[in-house]
Every structure is written in C-alpha cells, then in structure tokens.
Chains A and B, each alone.
Chain A
Amino acid sequence: MNKKLQVELCGIPMKNPLTTASGTFNPQAHSQFYDLGILGAVTVKGVADQPWPGNPTPRIAETYGGMLNSVGLQNPGADSFIAEDIPFVRQYDTKLIVNLAGHSIEEYCRVAEKITQADVDLLELNISCPNIKEGGVAFGTNPAMAEAVVREVKKVVTKPLIVKLSPNVTDITEIAKAAEAGGADALSLINTLFGMRIDVYKRRPVLAQKMGGFSGPAVKPVAVRMVYQVHKATSLPIVAMGGVSSGEDVAEFIMAGATMVATGTLNLVEPDCPVRILAELEAFMDQTGVSDIQEIRGIID
C-alpha cells in the first residue's frame, strides 16, 4: 500500500512525524548507529547563551521501566553549538529543531536571538526543566510567567517557536493556553516528571541532587493524557513525547492529537530505535488501512 507519512509543522514540511526528544539525542553520537536522514526532524539538546556546567554526579538513576536524570542542562553554550553542531546536522536530509534553555527572560531572549539567526528550522523553548533552580520549570508552572516569557522570546525570533511544557502542574491546559496567548506557534510535551529514588541500603537519595526528571516507557500514559487534554484545549500543533518505544506508541500519540512524536529515553538505551519504530509505524498503517498518517490525528473524542 502506498502510505503517506509526510506532515507539516508550522508550515515546515517533514518527511515523517518522527523526531528526537531534546537531551536524549546527540547527532554525532547517534549518527554512528543509523542515517539521521530517516528522521522527520532532529531535536538537539538544550542550549543556553553561555556554557552551563550541569549538576554533580550521580546524575542518572534507573527506575522501574524508566529513569531519573539530573543532568541540569549541561551544555557548551550557543557559540560552540552554532559552530560545531549545526554544520554536523546539516549534512543530513532532515529538519533541525533547537531546544533553548535559560534562567531568566533576558537569558532566554539572548540565546533565542543567537540561534534564530543560525541555520536552524524551528526553536523549542524549554520552560519545563525540573533540574535547575531558577528559570526553567518556574516559567513552566506559572501561567502568567509562561505567557510573559513566550511573548518576549517571540519578539526576537524569526523561526517558528515551539514551547515545551512541564507535566508537573495541576492543569496542563492552563499553561498551554498561556503559551498560546503569548504567541507560541506549537507546543511540545511532556518534559520529565519530577521524581526521586532512595537507596534504602545506603539510606540516601540515589541522585546527588536528590530529585530529578523521570522519563521512559513508564511515563507514557501520563503523556498521552496530557497531549489529549492540550489538543482539546488549544488549536496549536503538538510535538508529543514521553515514553515512546514502538510504532504503536507513535500512532497512540497522533490519535491523541500530536502532529509529530519524539523518541526520548529510548534513544539512550536503543540508539537506533527510530529505524525500528518507523518500520513498525508503517506496518501499523498497513495493518489498519491508514494511507495517510494525518487521517488518524486527533481522532479521539
């Protein structure tokens, strides 16, 4: 059967709905395992105006069907990113989404201004990282602050702006609507859930930071629910992530309302997972008679 996997995000055509979740994918590292050109888009790690050192170790802990991380947005800063990572990704026939990090509106605007002028396709504003003390999640959990930061960043960017939402809120639709009001072009969700693990033999937290971001297959039902709610509450296109590990998971998020879907934690433990997931998605379409992936978008009442 002839299947159509192409989608459009904010007017930008993508060869398929699959992308990678920020911070779980490194173009140089992952290109050892498969041709990045098979992806609709690559979304790269959070980049800030200046280099950030990140948090003390241990930064990683295993949980049942998932993991905790407290990397703390360690990154080499915008200038190094522009010089090294962008040209690398541009060797591949895929779109580039760059995730932006900051502690304040000013910092977000500075990095957005630098990156929007570089050779990238879309920007993703991370207002939802649970691993930094100021900024990040503070903007993502308060509707007024979310709207304000999106509005200011929108003023300085020329590329479509995706706003990445935190699941660590009582009502995600409030923040989604605030981001829409601020001028977001699209939304992405979910970032990690705030979690914790204690080593009962050592009687201390497993992570040096005590708490960290929970991700992986175990979080998927929460993510599906939130994508569904946000799709109902706003008219913005959605990039969905949270525990994706199969082609069926991609279809599930699209049915909940997503335009694109990202693999996250799975990129770390099965580096070539997009190859398998795309094949599974096509098999699912064949099996259920879907000829155009857009047919199933948001079909759940």
Chain B
Amino acid sequence: MLNDRVTIVSQERLAPGIEKITLLAPEIARAAAPGQFVNLYSDEKDKLLPRPISICEVDPERGLLILIYAVVGKGTAEMAAKQAGDTMRVLGPLGKGFPLEEAERAEEVLVVGGGLGMPPLLYLCRRLSELGVCRDKLKIFLGFRSEAWMGEEFAPYGTVFMASDDGATGFKGNAVQCLQLHVQQKSQNQSAARVLYTCGPLPMMEAIQTAFMDDPNMSLWFSLEERMGCGFGACAGCPAQLRMPDGSIKREGVCKLGPVFSGKAVVFHE
C-alpha cells in the first residue's frame, strides 16, 4: 500500500466542476483492482480527513493513476487548483473492489453508472474485457444530468447506452429507465445468468434493487459511499448495513470490506 506524496502529471477539466487528474503512482497503478479507491489528503491542516476517490483507470506500464472527481467542497476545490508538477499525499489502493468471477460465467453483464459513479466503471469494463467478457455480452448504461463528459472510452468494451435527465445526451431519462427498456426489449432469455455492476446516486441504486430484487438469475453489485474517518478500517466510521439471509442486519465497513457489496443485501433505510 502506498502512503506518500505523488506528482500530478496532468489535470484536465472535462466539464464545469468535473476534473480528470493523472498522478504518477506506479505502486498503486500496478496493485489496484477495479472498484478500489484512494484517499487524497489536503496540504492544509484545517482539512484533516481523507477525500476518498475511486480509481477510474490505471496504466501500470507508465505508472499512471487516473481519477475523475467533482468539485463539491473545500477539499476538491484545493485539488482542482493544483497543476502538473505539483504533489499531493495519496494512500491506496483501498477497499476490495468489484468481484469479477460471476461475470466470466454470465450470459450478459450489465454495467450502470450515474454521474460521478461512472469513472470507476471504466477500469471495471476494461478488466472484464481482458477476462474474456466479449463486446456483445457487455452492456454499459451511463446517466448524465445533461451533456456527456465521458462515454467514448467505454466503447471498445461493450455497447454503450447513454441517457440524460434533460435529453441533451441520448435517451431522455435516467440510466435505470434506459436499462429497464433494454432489459424488457432485448433480453429474450430471462433465465440466463446475468450480473449487474453499478455505482451512482443512492436513488439510482435503490431503483435497481427494487427492479431486480426478485430476479434469481440476476446478481447485483453496488459500489457505496460513506463519510470516512480513515478509509482503511480503523475507526468504524463507515458501516454499510447489509441484510443477511436469516433477516438479521450486519454492519460492514465500506472502506475495508467494500465499497462494493451485494446489491440485494444493501439496506438503504434503517
């Protein structure tokens, strides 16, 4: 695990308030699995806590780590002000990431991303493709508010369906509506084993859970967010609530045992 300062190779604005940052972090680039995240730290002592950001892509050969983040507060504003050559402290890779075994056996793999949940799905799709999930098995649904700020990167790995709230990009509606349309129209063989990976806003993941909860052939994997005190399993600050087969509720740390959990087990409301 890397716990050190790294150098920023480049930073690029993808859309207003959405930044893509490339860091020289060979140790993380080599070790990271899709769905894992890193902690970024402020240089100012008034902002102590980590900013967890998902790994969007890695280039192990060149030692590069790529992150995409939204500027939503003081910490991300400080990051956005940094330039190539500047350094920042990074810890990672953290968490466990997406389980991939089921995808190799599945008839169809569905990947659904909403907003800032999209970036980590890029590395996921590349890895799935490398594991032999062919292009026509992989369906990728991306939901934007308005204009798209990523999407083409996914095209080599599967069929990409885009949606936007205002209709500026692709289907008018959200990624789940777009997904449901596809599932109803295209999937003739409803009994085939399918896997769905998703990361995005809570209402989106809740809608997916509601839609597929009772489908025994569909397994769901949700990547969750929680406020973090440490990011590596030391503070008990970040539990997800999971319903066990016997009906009891179990708490597991999002940072260490997540951020990806079985989507059918996730409890959204206490």
Contact = CB atoms under 8 A, between A and B. Distances in A.
Interface string A17-35: 0000001111011101100
A149 interface: no
Contact of B239 (A45, A54, A62, A265): A54
A56 B251 contact: no
B225 to A, nearest CB: 10
Contacts of A267: 230, 234
Interface in B203-255: 226-230, 232-239, 249, 251
B230 A271 contact: yes
A269 interface: yes
Interface residues of B, number: 27
A71 B256 contact: no
Contact of B46 (A58, A65, A71): A65
B234 A268 contact: yes
Interface residues of A, number: 35
B229 A268 contact: yes
B236 A269 contact: no
A64 B45 CA distance: 8
B48 A62 contact: yes
Given A65-B45, A66-B48, A67-B49, A29 B232 contact: yes
B146 interface: no
A271 B234 contact: yes
B1 interface: yes
B251 A60 contact: no
B62 interface: no
A75 B237 CA distance: 12
A26 B233 contact: yes
A25 B234 contact: yes
B229 A60 contact: yes
A24 B227 contact: no
A272 B229 contact: no
A13 interface: no
A57 B48 contact: no
Q: Name the residue in A28, A30, A57, A71 with the highest tally of chain B Cβ atoms < 10 Å from its Cβ.
A: A57
A160 interface: no
B234 A58 contact: no
Q: Name the residue in A60, A74, A272 with the highest tally of chain B Cβ atoms < 10 Å from its Cβ.
A: A60
Contacts of A269: 41, 48-50, 230
Given A53-B251, A57-B227, A67-B229, A62 B237 contact: no
Contacts of A173: none
A60 B228 contact: yes
Contacts of B45: 65, 217
A195 B6 CA distance: 35
B234 A29 contact: yes
A216 interface: yes
A69 interface: yes
Interface in A39-92: 45, 53-54, 56-62, 64-67, 69, 71, 74-75
A246 to B, nearest CB: 11
Interface string B37-68: 00001000111111000000000000000000
Question: What are the nearest 10 A-B pairs in CB distance?
Answer: A268-B230, A26-B234, A60-B237, A29-B233, A60-B227, A29-B234, A58-B227, A60-B229, A62-B49, A74-B236
Given A57-B226, A58-B227, A268-B229, 20 more contacts: A23-B235, A24-B235, A29-B232, A29-B256, A30-B234, A33-B1, A53-B249, A57-B237, A57-B238, A59-B229, A60-B227, A60-B235, A64-B46, A67-B229, A71-B236, A71-B237, A268-B230, A269-B41, A269-B48, A272-B3
7 contacts: A24-B235, A25-B234, A57-B237, A267-B230, A269-B50, A269-B230, A271-B3
Interface of B: 1, 3, 41, 45-50, 91, 226-230, 232-239, 249, 251, 256, 270
Interface of A: 23-26, 28-30, 32-33, 45, 53-54, 56-62, 64-67, 69, 71, 74-75, 216-217, 265, 267-269, 271-272
